[in-house]
Each structure stands twice: as C-alpha cells, then as structure tokens.
Amino acid sequence: MPSLPYRALPLAIVALLGAAACTPKGHLSPSVATKPASAGPISAALKVALDGANVQIQRDGSSRIPRRGSGPFGVVVTAPVTRQPFPGETTVAVLSSGERTLGQANVEFGPRLGTARLTVKESGTYRIEFWSGATFLAGTTFIANVLPTLDGQRSLELHPYATPHVFVTRAPNGSATGLLRWRHWDSIDADVAFIAEWWHDGEKYAPARGARSSFARDMIEIVQNAHDAKALADQPVWRLVTEQFPVPQEMLAANGTWELRIYRDDDHDPLSLSFMVLPDGGITAARKTPAYRGLIDLEISHAPVSKTATKQLAALPRQRPAPFTGE
C-alpha cells in the first residue's frame, strides 16, 4: 500500500473543513403525519462512530479501527429519543459532502435510541443529519481518515464535531461567556505553532493565545518509557487537536463581524473563523446549518498575513522531551 505524504495530509484536511453543510433535497418522505403543534422533535442530538469489527471508542468521542486501510467503511449514528414517532412519521439519516447528498437510511427507533447505519465510500469530511419529514432534527460534521502508524501500517479514525464552532451565552451581568473551538492536525515529524487574535470589524481587538505542538515531544516520551513495543505499534503519526478560545466578555455589546484569526508557521496559510453579532445580541454565521445545542458552525477562510504574528511565532519556545526514565 502506498504511503501517504505526511505534510500533504493537513492541508487537504483543512481544505475539507471549509465544506458547507448540505440541505438535503429529494429525500424527504412524501407523506408526513400531521402532529400536534406542541409536540417536540423526536431528538435534538446525535452521535456518529465507526461501525464494524475491532472498533475502539476513545475518550474524546472519536473512534478508530487499528490496521484498517482505505476503502468503504460503515458508520453508525445514534440519537437519544425524546418522543416516539407518530404513525407514518418517517425519520431519515442523510449523508452529505459539501453540496452533494451521498446517501440516506431510515432511522430505526427503540425505546431510548434512534439508530441508522450508512456506508461511506472513502475517507474525507462529511455531514450527517437527521430529518423528520421537512423538519431538521440534528446534525454533525465528522472527519474520517486513514492515518499512518509507527509500525508502517494504517489506522482508520473518525472524529465527530469536526468543523470549528462557537458557543456563547449571556451572563446575568450582560457579559458574554463561551468558547470558540478549532481542530487541527499535529504531525509527529513537525513542531508546528500558532498565534490567535480576536478581530472586530476588521480591526485587531485582543490577543487570544498561542501554542506550539507538543505531539512529537509526547510521542518521544511514550516511546522512551514504553515497556512493551507491541503497544506502540499502532500509534498514529498524526493527532487531531482541539483548541479552545474564550470569547471576549464585551462581545455581545459590540455587534458586527467578529473573527478569530489564526496564524501558523510551517507554510500554513493564516485562517479566519468569523461570525456576526446582531444588534439584539444574537449570533449568526455564514454557514446556514441550524445550531446544535447552541453550537454555531463557522466557515474557514483565508486571513491576511501578519508580520507581527510571524515574529511572535518564531519567539514561541520549543519543548524538549523529558529524560528517559525506563531501564
């Protein structure tokens, strides 16, 4: 099996992350039962994971199949049931990528969970949504990728909630509380750093934070202190990292365009994650996907280059691995 070019992978994934969610067409049930106006949705949340043999569920909610190469794979999507479907009410799970609808499956409901299984043809970034007739219920964007491992094999990984998103609430004193979350790939053979800044209506508002990748250092420590080489064999040489940035407290009182600009080294283009604060304090983004539990998916676009950020990136200290503690 040909090996993947390590440095090509993050750029491809970043490009995929900007894919817009799809509003499915042509898949809705022709007959949807009339239901009381007071009835709530069947469900308002869902989870997606790899389906099949040898699936491992990780602490962060991701799933993986060790020593699994490329090719079609199955996913299982589950949703907690808040009420049972009415007679004739059909709920479907729709798989999409960008503007393309790739497949769908009926959701089977048990006493507590609704479950659907779909087949994905290849790795990439995808969107899964549950629809009850013409009513959107819930959705999530996920990344599935085949990653090289330390033993020269491959590992299939699936990571939910892949798109950057923001969650903001208003505190009793009127200030904003919440987080913007951004996910990116770290490589074992790189020491990538980033600097992030908040911008408001095209002007720099405040620094966010910066960090340098610790993946290479962490992996060296694991290898140095490992007592069983077999336990290291299927360790991927890539890691998807979640970065969290607290929102400015004054955000809801300053309507207009807000951005988190992220500057990275190692020939990565600067990124802009933007959204609008409305005069009433509401938040909207270019992505038209309905919010999931208050999470608003954000688009990724290019940001201008910053000479100041470039200097700050160079000044971030590099981290050395801890000394060997094994025998």
- Nearest-angstrom CA–CA distance, 191 and 316: 11
What pLDDT score was predicted for residue 178?
A: 93
Task: Give the pLDDT of the chain (327 residues) as one tens digit per residue.
Answer: 333 333 333 333 333 333 333 333 333 333 333 444 345 778 778 899 999 999 999 888 899 999 898 899 999 999 998 888 888 889 999 999 988 999 999 999 999 999 999 999 999 999 999 998 888 888 889 999 999 988 888 999 999 988 899 999 888 888 999 999 999 888 887 778 899 999 999 999 999 999 888 787 777 776 776 666 666 677 788 888 899 999 999 999 999 999 999 999 877 899 999 999 988 888 888 665 555 556 788 888 999 998 888 888 888 877 655 554 544
Placement of tokens 């009926």 in the chain: 106
Q: Decide if domain 19-162 falls under CATH 3.10.450.
A: no
Structure tokens at 33: 């039962």
What pLDDT score was predicted for residue 150?
A: 82
Q: What is the pTM of this model?
A: 0.74
Select from 271, 285, 226 the least CA-distant residue to 21.
285
What pLDDT score was predicted for residue 327?
A: 46
- Nearest-angstrom CA–CA distance, 80 and 47: 9
Domain boundaries, the chain: 19-162, 164-327
Select from 157, 155, 150, 154 the least CA-distant residue to 229.
150
Q: Do 154 and 68 form a contact (C-beta atoms < 8 A)?
A: yes
